[in-house]
């Protein structure tokens, strides 16, 4: 690689005007060290930084770019939409069409557009409390639902990456209304409802967590949550900001609920549905959603919600995300997992590779399956740091945190897979050396 001098210069400038030099914490590379790469452009499966280095991208903007960067059809649609005006402060046709597409793909009856996943989960929580007249929220350790006060307790993602307690700046009154349980633990859920059932407004969970690494729900766990909530008059909120329209055309619900015959009361969406633009949504059963203003008493609003450019990008992306695209994403994910396993086995690195649909993670320093947050923390940060930087030096951009999932795009070709394979062998050796020192 040609170095990171220009990235370093930009990082120095950024730190003078932004906390940590970034606008989202994991981007700062603090968990892995070194200089964060400032990207100049993306094309297909690759990113090119300001120093001219090109990388095979296995982050895909944390999920949205399942069709690759700068997909011509999406760019053309966005260009046409922007030429008509970037924001009106009024309803427009693209937001209606995107809502229709989401309703057609998922079990929700009605959808409300917002601008971020955090807004979606925050609004869903408010709606659940308004619908039930209750205050308590149940969440799971290691699940990240955005930087919502009540949901940042024992969150995954950047909070655990930086070892933060998760609650500074958050009133104790907010966190006191949140019950945090171990993920995949039915007994803990049953005990919480036995003690607090009449006060629990909702259970919120990532449909398949990707913010403590990829940690899939154990078979039947989501169905159990849906049934338990129904029994006690609480709402079940499935957070599909990350998995929605990424792992199947119907999100993770397409892998469990659609086949098992249950549906969440509320769902949250983001990332893919914005096609790379800031767009998100929440939706659910009609009688619940109609409690939102202007029809009902639960207030929620957003000036840029349903932005015509963002919704055009999302709609175009969803229409291009065919069954063939999802089949290719699955195949690519399986292939790369196999390559990683082969390289780590050859280097003698204890590891476990696991997936949730086409999201996957590599946990270094352990061999047992990761089923909860405590398991996810039982890995080797030093091994991942060495692994990450060696992959970066060999032209592969991974998540700069061991607590994040890897993402593929359907533009990964034979040359990209060869680059990944060639990088994995020295990266595995670097991880092995880090674990021995």
Q: Phi and psi (nearest 5°) for 98?
A: -70, -40
Distance in angstroms (rounded) separating the CA atoms of residues 319 and 367: 39
User: What is the C-alpha end-to-end distance of the chain, expressed in Å?
Assistant: 26
Pick the catalytic residue from 271, 326, 385, 410: 271
- Reply yes or no: is the peptide bond before residue 192 cis, omega within 30 of 0: no
Asked if residue 406 lies in contact with residue 60, where contact means CB atoms within 8 angstroms, the answer is: no
Cα-based distances in Å from 321 to 150, 179, 316, 418: 34, 37, 9, 25
Q: How far is CA 136 from CA 6, 161, 170, 191, 249, in A?
A: 49, 27, 16, 14, 32
- The sheet that has 39-43: what strands, in order across it? 39-43, 46-49, 54-57, 396-397
Taken in order 9, 13, 18, 23, the sign of the CA dihedral is negative
The Cα–Cα gap between 311 and 111 comes to: 13
Options 57, 239, 256, 265, the catalytic residue: 239
* 144 carries an active-site annotation: yes
Residue with tokens 């990350």: 242
Q: Are 290 and 31 in contact (CB under 8 A)?
A: no
Active site residue 385: no
Apex 326 CA angle, 322 and 332, nearest 5 = 140
Q: In a 3-state reduction of DSSP, which class is residue 236?
A: strand
Catalytic residue among 55, 144, 326, 397: 144
Tokens describing residue 224: 């159990």
Residue 69 DSSP class: B
Cβ(64)–Cβ(274) under 8 Å?
yes
> Measured between alpha carbons, how far is 157 from 138 in angstroms, rounded to an integer?
18
Contacts of 254 (CB under 8 A, 6+ apart): 247, 248
CA angle, 249 then 251 then 254, to 5°: 80
CA-closest candidate to residue 32, choices 425, 373, 391, 408: 391
Residues β-bridged to residue 136: 200
Active-site annotation, residues: 144, 239, 271
């Amino acid at each position: 690689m040609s170095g990171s001098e220009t990235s370093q210069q930009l990082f120095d400038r950024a730190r003078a005007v932004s906390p940590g030099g970034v606008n989202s914490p994991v981007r700062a590379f603090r968990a892995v060290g070194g200089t964060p790469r400032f990207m100049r452009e993306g094309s297909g499966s690759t990113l090119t930084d300001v120093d001219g280095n090109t990388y095979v991208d296995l982050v895909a903007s944390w999920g949205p770019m399942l069709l690759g960067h700068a997909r011509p059809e999406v760019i053309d649609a966005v260009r046409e939409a922007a030429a008509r005006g970037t924001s009106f402060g009024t309803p427009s046709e693209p937001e209606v069409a995107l809502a229709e597409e989401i309703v057609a793909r998922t079990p929700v009856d009605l959808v409300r557009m917002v601008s971020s996943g955090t807004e979606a989960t925050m609004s869903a929580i408010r709606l659940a409390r308004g619908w039930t007249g209750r205050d308590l929220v149940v969440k799971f350790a290691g699940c990240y639902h955005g930087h919502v006060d009540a949901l940042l307790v024992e969150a995954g993602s950047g909070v655990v990456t930086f070892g933060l307690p998760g609650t500074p700046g958050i009133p104790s009154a907010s966190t006191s209304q949140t019950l945090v349980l171990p993920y995949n633990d039915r007994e803990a859920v049953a005990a919480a409802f036995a003690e607090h059932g009449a006060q629990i407004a909702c259970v919120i969970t990532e449909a398949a967590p990707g913010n403590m690494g990829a940690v899939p729900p154990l078979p039947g766990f989501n169905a159990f949550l849906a049934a338990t909530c129904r029994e006690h008059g609480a709402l079940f909120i499935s957070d599909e900001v990350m998995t929605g329209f990424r792992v199947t055309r119907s999100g993770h619900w397409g892998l469990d609920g659609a086949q098992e015959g249950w549906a969440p009361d509320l769902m949250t969406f983001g990332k893919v549905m914005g096609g790379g633009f800031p767009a998100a949504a929440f939706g659910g059963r009609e009688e619940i959603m109609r409690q939102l203003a202007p029809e009902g008493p639960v207030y929620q609003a957003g000036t840029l919600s349903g932005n015509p450019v963002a919704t055009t990008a999302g709609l175009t992306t969803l229409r291009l995300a065919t069954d063939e695209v999802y089949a290719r994403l699955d195949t690519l994910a399986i292939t790369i997992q196999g390559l990683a396993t082969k390289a780590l086995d050859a280097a003698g690195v204890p590891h476990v590779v696991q997936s949730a649909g086409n999201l996957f993670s590599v946990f270094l320093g352990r061999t047992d399956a990761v089923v909860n947050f405590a398991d996810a923390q039982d890995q080797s940060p030093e091994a991942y740091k060495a692994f990450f930087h060696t992959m970066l030096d060999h032209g592969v951009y991974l998540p700069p945190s061991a607590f994040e999932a890897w993402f593929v795009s359907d533009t990964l070709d034979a040359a990209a897979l060869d680059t990944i394979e060639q990088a994995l062998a020295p990266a595995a050796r670097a991880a092995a050396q880090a674990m021995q020192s």
